[in-house]
Structure 1
Amino acid sequence: MPLYAAGWLVAMITGPRLSPRRRILLVGALLTLAGAAALLQNGPAYLGHAGVFSFALAAAAWLFPALWAVLLGLGLGAAQALVLWAAPGPLSWGLVGDLFPAVVIPVAVTLLIRLVVQLGQAREEIAALAAAAERDRLARDLHDVLGHSLTTITVKTGLARRVLESGGDPERALAELRDVERLSRQAHSEVRLTVSGRRRPSLAAELAGARAALRAAGISPILPPSAAHVPAELAEPFAYVLREGVTNVIRHSGATRCEVLVGDDWLEVRDNGPGQKAAGPGNGLSGLAERLRAVGGQVEAGPLPAGGFRLRASRA
């Protein structure tokens, strides 16, 4: 009996870490120990008494799939009933009736405990996945927000420096620096809204910002006068596409012209520069693809046959 109890403790503590084959062997050993203990205590007839295999059944419910544990319990209960029927003397229906709770209770209680443990683990996994998703959202949004803002600030600061170094109009340099100050405050506000999840970019505002940033970089902007015809559910992802596309034109393309085309369900950013190559799976493009997938769209990026580069977002 002490060996049976020790085996049950081992099964409950270390059994979940074992391979399926070893779990089967461990439960089989417990059933054997339970049967041996019953035989040594009162002989073969005692094998039919309720509770003989309760601990082994509890271990089976802990280590096996639920269906296996239920089938094992039913099989053991039927076998014990046969033992009672075959035993000499009159059949005690009270003992037969005791078999049902002796089989059901350990299996049901253990399965319930296992379910509670699994629910706790699932709750922890959900919390971890939610935290990872929030980190990904912050990384994606901060990349989109700060990438464009810092690029524009760098371009305007460089323009002001060049104006001052060349002895040009100080008022123009001051105007650029005032714009840099405004952009810095705006970026600070956008970061705060992004962290809180309340930032909603405007396609019209991004068009205005793109025009100013391209001009400051010495790139001729060709932009539509309005994007009011774009459906509301596409305006936000298209605003991110426009921001990322214009940022990449300024930073990487070496272009002299940038053209933005907007349809009802598509947007393109084109340039005539030699700098950008075939797009790889960078953070910016991956973030845009994720945003477009949420509205049933897709992103395409690559060089144009006649030269230059194109970034296109569309919804079929």
Structure 2
Amino acid sequence: MAEQQKKNGWSWPDDPAGPPTRAGRIAGFVMSTMFLIYLVSPINQAFTAPHPTAVRVAVVTTVAVYCCIYATVYMAFSMRRTWFDKRVRIAGVAAMFACGITLAVLLGPDNLMFLTYAISAALMQLPPTVGLLLGLGTTTALLIGTEIAEGAPDWNAASILVVLTIAMFGTRQVIMANAELRAARDEIATLAVAEERSRMARDLHDVLGHSLTTITVKAGLARRILESSGDDQRAIAELRDVETLSRTALGEVRSTVSGYREASLAAELVGARVALQAAEIAADLPHAVDNVPAGLQEPFAYVLREGVTNVIRHSNAHRCEIRLGESWIEIRDDGTPAETCGSGHGLSGLKERLAKVGGSLSAGPAEAGGFIVRASVPVAVTA
């Protein structure tokens, strides 16, 4: 999803949340256009005062055009399927201002108060600061015009115009803020789904990769025993381990799907010893994990699982050494690293897990030969 641009008072309005519901569109249009009833006042002035027929026709025509443009602008705003081009918006607002000014020319400067409709359209279709400045400018023009025409500024009309301008400006800001909140809520929901998919992929890789590797090694060991020595009891013991591992893997998959699975560093050490022995790799492992803080035991357990799995599957090693510290874990082997080592999906998943606790992962050939995987967390983060 594209990143939302930061908005300010000079930003053109858009609709980040998409079109509203049908009920919202109808309600918005009705609430907006019902105020057109006040435009009956200029028509009433034209017919109650002694004005020429041409003036009366001009007033009626201007009011009709004014209403049509206003309704079109607000219909576009309430529907919000596609926004008008910026030039069309400017032209529409300019036409509405022309209609309001025409009424003031025909009937007197106090009718500049009816530019409220044009200011409202400007606030909805143009950058909000532009609409606010137009409202304040219209108020100033009304005061100056009534001062010149009537000898005293019409403060009542000016105050009404100012209050309505500020109220509509605030309403517009609330509408846009709510739209942005809806967009943010939808984006958060999308990101949550993506994060859950990533977690599922990462956990299933970690669970099935290690479990299937160990099952494969155990099954292969049982086959070799039957083929070479015919030691049925030992082969049966290995097959029982395969059955146990299969049941354990099935339970881990269920826990992963439901989101309740937690890795245990101590249990992973036991599993690593069994898997390495089955693969006929000498294992040099820690005897306890008590020195590792509780908050790091789970991510280190995943590092241990993935590292041992890679040793068994890719290294052709004869020895694997695992070391633990308060803020680090290291898996080292004496095998021959493959060209693609250090770039797999499993290691990428480990980096994501460690990033959540402020840690980092390094993987690559060791100076003395073999391959080394090291995960560490800064001491300050551990504390």
Once the two structures are overlaid, the 10-residue window that deviates more, 139-148 or 93-102, is: 93-102
SS of match in other structure, 1:224: coil
4+ residue runs over 6 A deviation = 13-16
Tell me the equivalent position of 1:75.
137
Tell me the equivalent position of 2:176.
114
Tell me the equivalent position of 2:253.
191
Instruction: Establish whether residue 288 from structure 1 lines up as the match of residue 350 from structure 2.
Output: yes
Deviation at 1:196, TM superposition (A): 2.5
Amino acid at match of 2:344: G
Deviation at 1:280, TM superposition (A): 4.3
Aligned partner (choices 59, 77, 92) of residue 30 of structure 1: 92
Deviation at 1:154, TM superposition (A): 1.3
Return 5+ residue gaps in structure 2 as ranges.
Answer: 1-64, 379-383
Distance 1:285 1:253 in 2: 15
Deviation at 1:209, TM superposition (A): 0.3
Instruction: Establish whether residue 12 from structure 1 lines up as the match of residue 77 from structure 2.
Output: yes
Return 5+ residue gaps in structure 1 as ranges.
Answer: none
Once the two structures are overlaid, the 10-residue window that deviates more, 113-122 or 90-99, is: 90-99
Distance 2:169 2:235 in 1: 80
Change (3 A) 1:94 1:166: same
Aligned partner (choices 276, 280, 298) of residue 214 of structure 1: 276
Aligned partner (choices 291, 294, 301) of residue 239 of structure 1: 301
Aligned partner (choices 83, 88, 91) of residue 153 of structure 2: 91
TM score, norm. by length of structure 1: 0.88
Tell me the equivalent position of 1:182.
244
Distance 2:270 2:214 in 1: 13
Tell me the equivalent position of 1:151.
213
Question: What does 1:269-288 correspond to in 2, within 5 Å?
Answer: 269-277=331-339, 279-288=341-350
Amino acid at match of 1:287: G
Deviation at 1:90, TM superposition (A): 4.2
Distance 1:10 1:76 in 2: 24
Distance 1:47 1:195 in 2: 72
Aligned partner (choices 177, 185, 199) of residue 123 of structure 1: 185
Change (3 A) 1:77 1:136: farther
Deviation at 1:175, TM superposition (A): 1.1
Show CA shifts across 1:283-307 (max 9, x none): 2112111222222221110001221
CA contact (8 A) 2:109 2:149 kept: no
* Sequence identity (%): 48
Distance 1:32 1:63 in 2: 11
SS of match in other structure, 1:240: helix
